[in-house]
A and B are shown apart, each in its own frame.
With several copies, the nearest count.
Chain A
């Protein structure tokens, strides 16, 4: 009853042996082709990964130095001979609050009028007593905004008059360039930004430790600055971007999710919904610059919303982000198994109840990811913002979405065009690092939340 193995009969083998020989003959070449194809794939991936690596390392390489800046620490003497102001007004009994404010403002104006540059100059000269330097050169070492710092210190504490305190001052952009070697040190005087004495003094301060590189926190706390480039920061642009993101989230998410729900769950299949669908897919690919034109024409010219306002930027970006959210939500809805809908319908839930109680909650992770990705895209968008005036110079941090403001990518654009190339090339990369960091963070949050929400299911 056992089966014994008998090789196929000789004749039967003939045809098939011939065939096998042919197949075998081709195998070598075919496998070589297979290997080549696979190598091509690996090469493509290597190229793509290589681009990522180069891009990130170049930007880090260029931008990281900008996060430290030279600071000069010197004794500042609030010389009563220069700071000649009356005592700070005190509120007396009959004075109304408004009158007192007036008086205080007058006093502050007088403090502002003090020649703080003289105080600065004296302090710098005192730090290197044996060094001969002219006023202009001495002042060119520290940032011009430092004089307002001295003023603010004095306003906050008039008791400083006649006192000497240690103050850490931001070196000017040119001094920073010189010390970092951003400008060719061997160039003749005519091609240098700083005078020879200012350069020598900076070097000397560096040697004796009064000048030091420190982390430039002000990049994160200051707004953009033109008059004091070394103190320029991203805070204003960051807040502007934040407002825009808020607007996008508040508007694009509900509208996007609702229209996705309608199109996927309720809409009958007809010409009209077909039209909406084509329309949405098209909007997803309309160039962003066209949205800028739309924003300029509709929100600025027609509705007369203020220029440079994050609200308008947010509205434009909302319209841009909507299709992304709709499409992603629709595909998330489509992925919900029909069995879930049937289950709810089968026990007498209405269509609306089914969708809102069961289907939609299941898609939250998908919607969330889509939202974050859409918002991240909006965060990085530049071109449309240029057309609605977001490329203004704004020195203040906006207090509301209606106040003028810049945005992170626009700030990058502005900085890359700044005339002080030596200083702003690195600063631009630093801003890019911040923006990319934000992007990566958003994406990481998306991945994290998604993983968590999906685990909970």
Chain B
């Protein structure tokens, strides 16, 4: 197994390099927000991701699909450096947000995570009130000047997450007392409250019932007006329903990436084809 060097491509090459992933053609390219080149990830000695290169376009939903253990979550976590918090995890290659390397030592990962928000598989509200759940991010980042400022942020975030009408009378009750779907929307509101530029979602509906799932999917569709969204899902149906672009991972490789409709109808790669038609998984 070859050992990773932290930077295998000099900075200057980043924009000159094209993503080499097999891709289905794309007619109307949107501006790129996140650019990854040759990203490899190691857990201790074990390599979980192999030279992944991808461009994530602005104000759209990009879905990562693939069989279990193929590295979807791992790659997603690279995008806001949540991998830093995992013991023994090393990342090589380059990832840039708006053109600047997010693994640059001068960049504070805490600041990065305020710009790239994250929503997790299982809804994980803090064991605090609904208000405090949403207000926490703005508070630690010093985003609100005053009490009323904060109230405004909380309200607008909850509104954007489509939760306001359901909780406005009980903002000071515990966030953990909500139903699963509401909790997940609360987590989305919490992420929105720090006005991130990108929102990462790792299987956000897998713990929810079909009705709550539908509600979240609608919400994602609305959010993409304002945010760049990356979503990991194990359900091809969901990817088809919510995303504009889809990336298919397999055994740590990004096999293919392109507009969702094309990926599902005419993939370039045989493996993608097999997966989509249920040969495995």
Which A residues have a C-beta under 8 Å from some C-beta of B? 1-8, 15-16, 19-20, 22-27, 30-31, 268-269, 337, 339-351, 353, 357-358, 361-362, 457
B204 contacts partner chain A, Cβ-Cβ < 8 Å: no
Interface of A is mostly: helix
Query: 14 pairs across A/B with beta carbons < 8 Å?
Result: A3-B31, A7-B99, A22-B143, A31-B108, A342-B82, A342-B120, A343-B187, A343-B190, A347-B118, A348-B113, A348-B137, A349-B136, A349-B140, A362-B127
In whole angstroms, what is the CA distance A218 to B99 when docked? 79
Which B residues have a C-beta under 8 Å from some C-beta of A? 15, 18, 25-26, 29-33, 35, 55, 57-58, 80, 82, 85, 87, 98-99, 108, 110-115, 117-120, 122, 124-127, 136-137, 140-143, 174, 176, 187, 190-191, 193-195, 197
Across the interface, B142 reaches (CB within 8 A) one of A22, A31, A361, namely: A22
B228 to chain A, nearest CB (A): 10
In whole angstroms, what is the CA distance A343 to B174 when docked? 16
In whole angstroms, what is the CA distance A340 to B191 when docked? 14
In whole angstroms, what is the CA distance A31 to B29 when docked? 40
Are B31 and A5 closer than 8 Å at their CB atoms? yes
Residues of A within 8 A of B197 (CB): 8, 16
In whole angstroms, what is the CA distance A343 to B142 when docked? 18
Residues of B within 8 A of A350 (CB): 110
Are B114 and A345 closer than 8 Å at their CB atoms? no
Are B120 and A26 closer than 8 Å at their CB atoms? no
Are A16 and B195 closer than 8 Å at their CB atoms? yes
| Inter-chain pairs besides A20-B115, A26-B141, A268-B87, 13 sampled, C-beta below 8 Å | A5-B35, A19-B143, A22-B143, A23-B114, A25-B142, A340-B127, A343-B190, A345-B85, A347-B118, A347-B136, A348-B113, A349-B140, A361-B127
Query: Would A6 and B111 be within 8 Å (CB), given that A342-B82, A346-B191, A347-B190 are in contact?
Result: no
Query: Would A341 and B85 be within 8 Å (CB), given that A3-B29, A348-B137 are in contact?
Result: yes
Are B142 and A8 closer than 8 Å at their CB atoms? no
Query: Would A4 and B32 be within 8 Å (CB), given that A20-B111, A340-B124 are in contact?
Result: yes
In whole angstroms, what is the CA distance A349 to B109 when docked? 10
B59 to chain A, nearest CB (A): 10
Query: Would A337 and B32 be within 8 Å (CB), given that A27-B111, A347-B136 are in contact?
Result: no
Smallest CB-CB A-B distances: 9 pairs:
A348-B114, A346-B118, A339-B124, A6-B31, A348-B113, A347-B137, A26-B142, A343-B124, A3-B32
Are A15 and B195 closer than 8 Å at their CB atoms? yes
Are B124 and A23 closer than 8 Å at their CB atoms? no
A147 to chain B, nearest CB (A): 64
In whole angstroms, what is the CA distance A353 to B113 when docked? 14
In whole angstroms, what is the CA distance A361 to B136 when docked? 15
In whole angstroms, what is the CA distance A351 to B29 when docked? 38
In whole angstroms, what is the CA distance A361 to B18 when docked? 48
| Nearest B residue to A27, CB-CB | B108
Are A8 and B98 closer than 8 Å at their CB atoms? yes
In whole angstroms, what is the CA distance A1 to B99 when docked? 19
Query: Would A3 and B120 be within 8 Å (CB), given that A22-B141, A23-B142, A348-B141 are in contact?
Result: no
Across the interface, A27 reaches (CB within 8 A) one of B25, B110, B136, B187, namely: B110
Residues of A within 8 A of B191 (CB): 346-347
| Nearest B residue to A353, CB-CB | B140
A343 to chain B, nearest CB (A): 4
